[in-house]
Structure 1
Amino acid sequence: MGLLWTLIVGGIIGWLGGLIAGRDIPGGIIGNIVAGFVGAWLGTLILGDWGPTLGGFAIIPAIIGSIVVVLILSAIMRGARRR
Protein backbone atom coordinates (compact mmCIF):
# COMPACT_ATOMS: atom_id res chain seq x y z
CA MET A 1 0.00 0.00 0.00
CA GLY A 2 2.92 2.34 0.69
CA LEU A 3 4.26 2.02 -2.86
CA LEU A 4 0.86 2.82 -4.35
CA TRP A 5 0.55 5.90 -2.12
CA THR A 6 4.04 7.06 -3.18
CA LEU A 7 3.16 6.64 -6.87
CA ILE A 8 -0.08 8.59 -6.44
CA VAL A 9 1.63 11.45 -4.62
CA GLY A 10 4.46 11.49 -7.20
CA GLY A 11 1.90 11.68 -10.02
CA ILE A 12 0.04 14.53 -8.34
CA ILE A 13 3.29 16.44 -7.78
CA GLY A 14 4.23 15.98 -11.46
CA TRP A 15 0.76 17.07 -12.55
CA LEU A 16 0.93 20.18 -10.35
CA GLY A 17 4.36 21.01 -11.75
CA GLY A 18 3.00 20.85 -15.30
CA LEU A 19 -0.08 22.83 -14.35
CA ILE A 20 1.90 25.62 -12.68
CA ALA A 21 4.49 25.72 -15.49
CA GLY A 22 1.71 25.82 -18.07
CA ARG A 23 3.23 22.99 -20.08
CA ASP A 24 2.07 19.47 -20.87
CA ILE A 25 4.24 16.60 -19.72
CA PRO A 26 4.95 14.00 -22.40
CA GLY A 27 3.98 10.47 -21.43
CA GLY A 28 0.68 11.12 -19.67
CA ILE A 29 0.30 9.55 -16.23
CA ILE A 30 3.69 7.81 -16.38
CA GLY A 31 5.30 11.12 -17.38
CA ASN A 32 3.65 12.82 -14.41
CA ILE A 33 4.92 10.17 -12.01
CA VAL A 34 8.45 10.38 -13.43
CA ALA A 35 8.40 14.20 -13.33
CA GLY A 36 7.16 14.03 -9.74
CA PHE A 37 9.91 11.64 -8.64
CA VAL A 38 12.71 13.44 -10.48
CA GLY A 39 11.34 16.82 -9.39
CA ALA A 40 11.19 15.68 -5.77
CA TRP A 41 14.78 14.48 -5.96
CA LEU A 42 15.96 17.68 -7.63
CA GLY A 43 13.98 19.97 -5.32
CA THR A 44 15.25 18.18 -2.22
CA LEU A 45 18.81 18.28 -3.55
CA ILE A 46 18.67 22.03 -4.19
CA LEU A 47 16.32 23.29 -1.46
CA GLY A 48 16.67 20.65 1.22
CA ASP A 49 14.07 18.56 3.00
CA TRP A 50 11.77 21.14 4.60
CA GLY A 51 8.06 21.79 4.74
CA PRO A 52 5.20 19.35 4.99
CA THR A 53 5.77 15.78 3.82
CA LEU A 54 3.31 13.47 2.15
CA GLY A 55 4.07 10.00 0.86
CA GLY A 56 7.76 10.43 1.59
CA PHE A 57 8.03 13.69 -0.38
CA ALA A 58 8.72 17.16 1.00
CA ILE A 59 5.86 18.82 -0.86
CA ILE A 60 7.13 22.37 -1.50
CA PRO A 61 10.64 21.47 -2.75
CA ALA A 62 9.13 18.61 -4.78
CA ILE A 63 6.67 20.90 -6.57
CA ILE A 64 9.37 23.48 -7.29
CA GLY A 65 11.67 20.73 -8.58
CA SER A 66 8.94 19.27 -10.77
CA ILE A 67 8.32 22.71 -12.31
CA VAL A 68 12.01 22.84 -13.24
CA VAL A 69 11.87 19.31 -14.67
CA VAL A 70 8.76 20.12 -16.74
CA LEU A 71 10.38 23.27 -18.15
CA ILE A 72 13.56 21.36 -19.05
CA LEU A 73 11.59 18.51 -20.66
CA SER A 74 9.44 20.90 -22.69
CA ALA A 75 12.55 22.74 -23.94
CA ILE A 76 14.16 19.45 -24.96
CA MET A 77 11.00 18.25 -26.70
CA ARG A 78 10.61 21.59 -28.51
CA GLY A 79 14.20 21.35 -29.74
CA ALA A 80 13.69 17.77 -30.89
CA ARG A 81 10.57 18.72 -32.88
CA ARG A 82 12.46 21.43 -34.78
CA ARG A 83 14.91 18.89 -36.20
Structure 2
Amino acid sequence: MGICTWLVLGGIAGWLASIIKGTNARMGMFANIATGIVGAMIGGWIFSLMGGTGVTGFNLWSLLVATVGSVILITIVQAIRK
Protein backbone atom coordinates (compact mmCIF):
# COMPACT_ATOMS: atom_id res chain seq x y z
CA MET A 1 0.00 0.00 0.00
CA GLY A 2 1.20 3.44 -0.84
CA ILE A 3 1.25 6.44 1.44
CA CYS A 4 -1.85 7.94 -0.19
CA THR A 5 -3.76 4.73 0.47
CA TRP A 6 -2.66 4.77 4.12
CA LEU A 7 -3.83 8.38 4.44
CA VAL A 8 -7.24 7.71 2.88
CA LEU A 9 -7.84 4.44 4.75
CA GLY A 10 -6.58 5.97 7.99
CA GLY A 11 -8.77 9.03 7.56
CA ILE A 12 -11.90 6.99 6.94
CA ALA A 13 -11.17 4.53 9.77
CA GLY A 14 -10.33 7.33 12.22
CA TRP A 15 -13.47 9.22 11.27
CA LEU A 16 -15.67 6.13 11.72
CA ALA A 17 -14.05 5.36 15.07
CA SER A 18 -14.55 8.94 16.27
CA ILE A 19 -18.23 8.70 15.34
CA ILE A 20 -18.56 5.37 17.18
CA LYS A 21 -16.84 6.75 20.30
CA GLY A 22 -18.62 10.14 20.18
CA THR A 23 -15.44 12.22 19.79
CA ASN A 24 -16.12 13.42 16.25
CA ALA A 25 -16.75 17.04 17.26
CA ARG A 26 -13.35 17.30 19.00
CA MET A 27 -11.22 15.60 16.35
CA GLY A 28 -10.08 17.25 13.16
CA MET A 29 -8.95 15.75 9.88
CA PHE A 30 -5.34 15.26 10.91
CA ALA A 31 -6.29 13.65 14.22
CA ASN A 32 -8.63 11.27 12.36
CA ILE A 33 -5.88 10.30 9.92
CA ALA A 34 -3.32 9.76 12.69
CA THR A 35 -5.82 7.77 14.75
CA GLY A 36 -6.73 5.65 11.75
CA ILE A 37 -3.12 4.86 10.82
CA VAL A 38 -2.09 3.98 14.37
CA GLY A 39 -5.39 2.12 14.79
CA ALA A 40 -4.65 0.09 11.65
CA MET A 41 -1.35 -0.98 13.20
CA ILE A 42 -3.03 -1.88 16.50
CA GLY A 43 -5.90 -3.66 14.75
CA GLY A 44 -3.55 -5.56 12.45
CA TRP A 45 -1.48 -6.68 15.41
CA ILE A 46 -4.53 -7.83 17.39
CA PHE A 47 -6.13 -9.62 14.44
CA SER A 48 -2.87 -11.39 13.61
CA LEU A 49 -2.57 -12.54 17.24
CA MET A 50 -6.01 -14.12 16.90
CA GLY A 51 -4.98 -15.96 13.73
CA GLY A 52 -6.55 -13.60 11.22
CA THR A 53 -5.06 -11.21 8.73
CA GLY A 54 -4.42 -7.54 9.31
CA VAL A 55 -4.56 -4.73 6.80
CA THR A 56 -4.26 -6.31 3.37
CA GLY A 57 -4.87 -3.36 1.07
CA PHE A 58 -7.63 -0.90 0.32
CA ASN A 59 -10.67 -3.10 0.95
CA LEU A 60 -13.57 -3.53 3.37
CA TRP A 61 -11.67 -5.99 5.61
CA SER A 62 -8.78 -3.56 6.06
CA LEU A 63 -11.23 -0.77 6.86
CA LEU A 64 -12.86 -2.98 9.52
CA VAL A 65 -9.47 -3.90 11.04
CA ALA A 66 -8.35 -0.26 11.09
CA THR A 67 -11.66 0.93 12.56
CA VAL A 68 -11.56 -1.68 15.36
CA GLY A 69 -7.98 -0.69 16.16
CA SER A 70 -8.92 2.99 16.12
CA VAL A 71 -11.81 2.42 18.51
CA ILE A 72 -9.41 0.60 20.85
CA LEU A 73 -6.91 3.47 20.57
CA ILE A 74 -9.55 6.14 21.35
CA THR A 75 -10.77 4.05 24.31
CA ILE A 76 -7.22 3.83 25.70
CA VAL A 77 -6.66 7.58 25.25
CA GLN A 78 -9.97 8.37 26.96
CA ALA A 79 -9.08 6.10 29.89
CA ILE A 80 -5.69 7.79 30.30
CA ARG A 81 -7.21 11.28 30.20
CA LYS A 82 -9.68 10.51 33.00
TM-score normalised according to structure 1 size: 0.71
Instruction: Report which of the two structures shows the higher radius of gyration computed on alpha carbons.
Output: 1
What runs of 5+ residues in structure 2 fail to find an aligned partner? none
- 1:63: how far off? 0.9
Structure-2 residue corresponding to 1:9: 9
Check conservation: 1:25, 1:31, Cα contact below 8 A. no
| RMSD, aligned CA | 2.6
Check conservation: 1:10, 1:32, Cα contact below 8 A. yes
Check conservation: 1:25, 1:70, Cα contact below 8 A. no
After TM superposition, the structure 1 = structure 2 runs for residues 4-83 of structure 1, keeping only pairs within 5 Å, are 4-24=4-24, 28-48=28-48, 49=53, 53-54=57-58, 58-77=62-81, 79=82
Number of aligned residues? 76
Question: Which structure's residues are more often strand, by fraction?
Answer: 1
Structure 1's 41 and 52: CA in aligned 2 closer, same or farther, altered over 3 A? Answer: closer
Structure 1's 14 and 63: CA in aligned 2 closer, same or farther, altered over 3 A? Answer: same
What runs of 5+ residues in structure 1 fail to find an aligned partner? none
Q: Amino acid of the residue matched to residue 30 of structure 1?
A: F
Q: Amino acid of the residue matched to residue 66 of structure 2?
A: A
Runs of 4+ in 1 over 4 A off after TM superposition: none
